[in-house]
Amino acid sequence: MGPGLYLHIPFCQHHCGYCNFAVMTGADDAFRTRYIAALKMDLSAVAAGGPRAVAPPGADVAPEWPTFTSVFVGGGTPTLLAPSDLAGLLRHAREALPVADDAEVTSEANPDGLTADGLSALVDAGLTRLSIGAQSFAPGVLSFLDRRHDREAPLRAVAAARAAGVAQVSLDLIYGAPAETARDWAASLRTALAARPDHVSAYALTLEANTPYAARVRGGAQAAPDDDVAAERMAVAGEVLGAAGLERYETSNWARPGARCRHNLTYWGGGDYLGVGAGAHGHWQGRRWWSTRPPARYADAALAGGSTTAGSEILDDATRRVERLMLGLRLVGGVDRAAVDPVDETALRDLVSAGLLDEDPDRLVLTAAGRPLADGVTLRLLPG
């Protein structure tokens, strides 16, 4: 699997309470245009610098870019851009970097305002995959989550995507909101499945600091999610999605055979990817870096031809093993011991005997019982 390219579009119509991604609301057309120009310029500059400029200094890296096998446009809400602008961006990526003909090209999308025509323009520009944020099909949950679309919107979006010829459609769902009942969740899953998605991401509502939701929880206006409830919902998701022929391949991700998200697998497998855009993260051969997060500052820096990098780190071997363990355990196939050893052997024995890890001398693989406890398992396996 080759490297991936991530492009960040920070614009949103409205800021959902739970969300702490690098987003902005209220951008006008002029700023959007400016931002896209900046993003393209930055991408060209990164591309021109070659892989040695993003790898750790002195690393043994070929001077030419390898072929990219995935592009992911995330947000924010990329589909808030005019289809022609987004299509232009996809084309620009192919001009700047060697992107494989059969690359997976994803865009995130909000359910509202998607049309078959607009999406066709994106398919013409190479889009192969659309990831739609449905979140829930229960009105009470949507309103708790502070979502502004109605429960039918995601279904219309899927239909538009199919009509436009998007090869793969994915739906994002969020479970565990305090307003959600067990029946709500089961119904949401069934409704999502009725749309025949190729892929489903089911996330547990996570209370993130510095979000409107966190402020409401502190003020007592909304309840925090409960881990026991989330565990139950996660189990139900596993059963219902599995029964519908979707295979789980990561803690929160299910796909029909052949429809796993290549781009995300690159993240979880410790692979290389470029991240371009406000607050975007990249990784190349053991160096991680991230861009300036405020969109206006990012755009200014990029257009001035300056550095858009806000920070970076070089991972030593031990840290790379920690990351491989942390990410690899989340994959249903687990992780090769050779990539993560040494681990705490006593903890490993305890975890195996408690039925949280499979008994396998060569790989670390969570059992079904261990899956929702991946973070604690990781913590205990860490050496020292």
Ligand X SMILES: C[S@@+](CC[C@H](N)C(=O)[O-])C[C@H]1O[C@@H](n2cnc3c(N)ncnc32)[C@H](O)[C@@H]1O
Contact positions vs other proteins (CB under 8 A): 6, 21, 74, 172, 201-204, 206, 227-228, 230-232, 234, 251-252, 267, 273, 275, 280-283, 288, 290, 313, 319, 322-323, 326-327, 330, 350-351, 354, 356, 371-380, 382
Please identify which residue in 75, 275, 277, 282 interacts with ligand X, judged by CB under 6 A.
Answer: 75
Q: Does 255 bind ligand SF4 (CB under 6 A)?
A: no
**68 near 99, Cβ under 8 Å?**
yes
Q: According to CB under 6 A, which one of 2, 3, 118, 133 is a site residue for ligand SF4?
A: 133
β pairing state of 309-314 and 24-25: unpaired
Q: CB under 5 to 8 A by kind: which of other proteins, ligand SF4, ligand X, none does 230 bind? A: other proteins
CA distance 381 to 378: 5
274 binds ligand X (CB under 6 A): no
Distances (CA, A) of 370 to 149, 183, 249, 250, 365: 35, 25, 15, 13, 9
- CB-wise, 19 or 89, nearer to ligand SF4? 19
Q: Which of residues 172 and 184 has its CB atom nearest to ligand X in the complex?
A: 172
Told to check if 9 binds ligand SF4 by CB under 6 A, we report no
Closest residue to ligand X using C-beta atoms: 133
**Contact (CB, 8 A) for 86 and 73:** yes
CB-wise, 54 or 141, nearer to ligand SF4?
141
* Among candidate residues 71, 96, 87, the one with its CA nearest the CA of residue 7: 71
Contact pick of 76, 197, 225, 286 for ligand SF4 (by CB under 6 A): 76
Q: Which is nearer to ligand SF4, 16 or 55 (CB)?
A: 16
Helix (H) or strand (E) holding 291: strand 287-291
Neighbours of 293 (CB within 10 A): 14
Binding partner of residue 15 among ligand X, ligand SF4, other proteins, none, CB cut-off 5 to 8 Å per kind: ligand SF4
Does residue 286 interact with ligand SF4 by CB under 6 A?
no
Query: Can you tell me the distance from the alpha carbon of 252 to that of 131, in angstroms, rounded to the nearest whole number?
Result: 14
Candidate residues 69, 110, 211, 292; the one interacting with ligand SF4 per rule CB under 6 A: 110
Binding residue (CB under 6 A) for ligand SF4 from 9, 19, 173, 202:
19
Rounded Cα distance, 30 and 98, in Å = 30
Contact between 79 and ligand X by CB under 6 A: the answer reads: no
Instruction: From 41-49, 200-208, 243-251, 369-377, give the range in contact with ligand X by CB under 6 A.
Output: 200-208
Which of the listed partners (other proteins, ligand SF4, ligand X, none) does 282 bind, with a CB threshold of 5 to 8 Å by partner kind? other proteins
Number of Cβ atoms within 10 Å of the Cβ of 101: 7
- Spatial separation of the C-alpha atoms in residues 269 and 323, rounded to whole Å: 9
What is the amino acid identity at position 179?
Answer: A
Identified binder of ligand X from the candidate list 4, 6, 10, 18, rule CB under 6 A: 18
* In the complex, least distance from residue 245 CB atom to ligand SF4, rounded to whole angstroms: 28
Q: Are 93 and 5 in contact (CB under 8 A)?
A: yes
| Residue 372 near which of other proteins, ligand SF4, ligand X, none (CB within 5-8 Å, type-dependent) | other proteins
CA distance to 15, 49, 280, 289, per residue, from 292 (Å): 20, 19, 8, 10
What is 209-238 written as a DSSP string?
TTSHHHHHHHHTSSPPP-HHHHHHHHHHHH
Q: Say whether the peptide bond before residue 139 is cis (omega within 30 degrees of 0).
A: no
110 binds ligand X (CB under 6 A): yes
What distance in Å separates the CA atoms of residue 288 and residue 312, rounded to the nearest whole number?
A: 5
> Which residues in this chain contact ligand X in the complex, by CB under 6 A?
18-19, 21, 74-75, 77, 108, 110, 133, 135, 172, 174, 203, 205-206, 208
> Which residues in this chain contact ligand SF4 in the complex, by CB under 6 A?
12, 15-16, 19, 21, 23, 75-77, 110, 133
